[in-house]
Amino acid sequence: MRVKDLVLLHGWGSGAGIWDGLARRLSPRFRIHALSLPGYDTDPARAARSLHAMVVAIAQAAPRRCGVIGWSLGGEIALAWARCARRQVQRLALIATTPCFASRPGWPCATSPVVLNEFGRFLASDRGGTLARFTAAQAKGDARARRVAGVLQQFNERDVPTDVLLAGLDVLSDTDLRRELPRVGQPTLVMHGARDRIVPPAAGRRLAAALPDARFALLRACAHAPFLSQPGRVAQALREFFDE
């Protein structure tokens, strides 16, 4: 049965508006629900301090049956949600997603915990400069880097409290979903930019290989935000996947 409702989950430091362009391309076929992560909608009281709390908040706001598109941190949330809500989550598309953002023994395709800790300290002392550098890092290497950086900068969530952003970094540092992957049985499309400097493509390949029903798509000229770099190609792949 074709998916009718699509939930879109954004990444760390951006907001639901980052999906506007992709949503326009998908809306003729699907009902789009671009949800803000807890604390990102100017309501700090809704901030979630753990991956589980994020999943609970998103599940409550989502339709009873839906497909899910998750980008980066949003993809980790989507994975955890799919694991515990097989009836609600029908299909998954994971963009620039890793099951484990911080490097660990046996998992080298990740960011050093030391780097994450330093990033958190820089965020607390120089929020604007740190977010600007993160935007540049997401676009770096992309064939359309200037365009991608411009869109990312436009939807940079300047009003999100710093403690919400720091809590999100803690979730990225602490989360390791590798052992959960064999129990995520929904059909899954894993999409990854070949030039991604934030989440190495090897993490996406390993993610797809560990899921029971997944396929991997590598976008060769893209970095961390392929849906901004090649929106037409990404939208077409998503339409075909969720129409199956």
5 among known catalytic residues: no
The token pair that represents 103 in the structure block: 């490097």
The token pair that represents 187 in the structure block: 């059909």
Whether 9 and 18 have beta carbons less than 8 Å apart is answered as no
Whether 139 and 1 have beta carbons less than 8 Å apart is answered as no
Which runs of E-coded beta strand occur in 141-205? 188-193
Instruction: Report long-range pairs for 26-31 (Cβ below 8 Å, ≥24 apart).
Output: 26/235, 26/238, 26/239, 29/239, 29/242, 29/243, 30/3, 30/4, 30/5, 30/6, 30/67, 30/242, 31/4, 31/5, 31/6, 31/63
Q: Which of 10, 33, 192, 224 is catalytic?
A: 224
196 among known catalytic residues: yes
Q: Cα(185)–Cα(183) distance, rounded to whole angstroms?
A: 6
Q: Which of 10, 33, 36, 72 is catalytic?
A: 72
Whether 133 and 118 have beta carbons less than 8 Å apart is answered as no
41 among known catalytic residues: no
Using CB atoms within 10 Å of the CB of residue 41, give its burial: 0 to 12 exposed, 13 to 18 middle, 19+ buried: middle
> Edge-to-edge strand order for the sheet containing 31-35?
31-35, 5-9, 66-71, 89-95, 188-193, 214-219
Nearest to 184 by CA among 78, 101, 32, 106: 78
Whether 104 and 196 have beta carbons less than 8 Å apart is answered as no
Q: Which residues participate in catalysis according to the annotation?
A: 72, 196, 224
